[in-house]
Every structure is written in structure tokens, then in C-alpha cells.
Amino acid sequence: MKFIKIALAVLAGLVVLVVFAALVAPSEPTTTRTEQTPTAEQEETEPVLPMPTDEPKEESKPELTSGQENALESAQSYIDGQAFSRQGLIEQLSSEYGDSYSEADAKFAVRRVDANWNAEAVEAARSYLDGQAFSREGLIEQLSSQYGDQFTPAQAEYAAERVY
């Protein structure tokens, strides 16, 4: 008997809550919009424009993962501080001896970093020549070697033309 009284009290409380919520909730009139079919005369003289929607259009901005965001920040920091080739920067970001980002995040960052790879090659070439002597061909080899800076041959040539 006691259980039934408790159950009825709980049920009565729920009913009161539902009724109260229905009374307090703002009511919105529902309207439907229909597109009007233009008459033959309107078709010839007036263009039919789509009905405006109530929802504002937002530009969808792709969200970055934390790995992508951090890799991009690291990549920009590296580029701002010293000369890197595209491939050298990917390796720096993804190497276990570097930043240890995933290769996917490193490549993502390098595609989006604010870098001029020709200018980076010139900066690297100047840095080499400030510290030691290189022949033009030796400099190009150092800049484009897989054991060196890993610039493309075209970027290495470009840099050598600018510093010699």
C-alpha cells in the first residue's frame, strides 16, 4: 500500500512538471512556405528567385585536430627561425629525433605553412657560404642532396644563381 502511494505521488509530480513545462515553454507559430508557380506571363518578364531561408549561411571552416594545429605552429616556428626545405621540414616534424608528429600531421602542416621554398633555399645557401667555402656545384649538391637539405634540384639551382 505504501508503495502505491509513493508511485502515485511520483506520477502526479511528473504530470505537474509536464503541464508546467507546456505552459511556460514559448510557443512558435508554425508556417510553411510554398513556392509559387509562375504564370506564363511572369516567366517571360520576371525571374523566379528562390525563397529566402531563415537560417543564416555560415562559412564552414574546417576544424583542425590538435595534432594538425600543433604541427602547423611548429612548422611556422621552424620556418621563421631557419631555412628548411619542404622535405626537410616534414622529416623534422615527424622524426622521433625531432617533434615526433605523425607523418600525416607533418605533411598537413607543411602544405599549409607560410613558406616560399625558393627563398628558403637562398637562405640556406647564404648560411652555408657564411660558414665555409663551396663551389657552385658543391653548393647545389649540398642543398639538393638527400643527406643535405633536400631542396629540389630546381630550388638548389635557383639559390645558387642568387648567391653566386
Buried b / exposed e over 80-96, threshold 16 CB at 10 Å, is eeebbbbebbbbbbbee
**Is residue 160 predicted with pLDDT exceeding 70?**
yes
CB 143 within 8 A of CB 149: yes
CATH class entry, domain 116-164: mainly alpha
pLDDT band at 62 (very low <50, low <70, confident <90, very high): confident
Please determine whether the domains at 64-115 and 116-164 fall in the same fold group of CATH: yes
pLDDT band at 16 (very low <50, low <70, confident <90, very high): very low
Q: How confident is the model over 102-125, as a mean pLDDT?
A: 97
pLDDT at 97: 94
Better-scored residue on pLDDT, 21 or 154: 154
pLDDT at 50: 57
pTM summary value: 0.62
Residues 6+ apart with CB under 8 A from 121: 83, 85, 143, 149, 151, 155, 156, 158, 159
**pLDDT more than 90, % of the chain:** 60
Q: How confident is the model over 87-103, as a mean pLDDT?
A: 96
Whole-number average pLDDT of the chain: 80
pLDDT in tens, 36-58: 555 555 445 555 555 555 655 55
Better-scored residue on pLDDT, 89 or 9: 89
Domain ranges of the chain: 64-115, 116-164
Fold (topology level) of 64-115: Arc Repressor Mutant, subunit A (1.10.10)
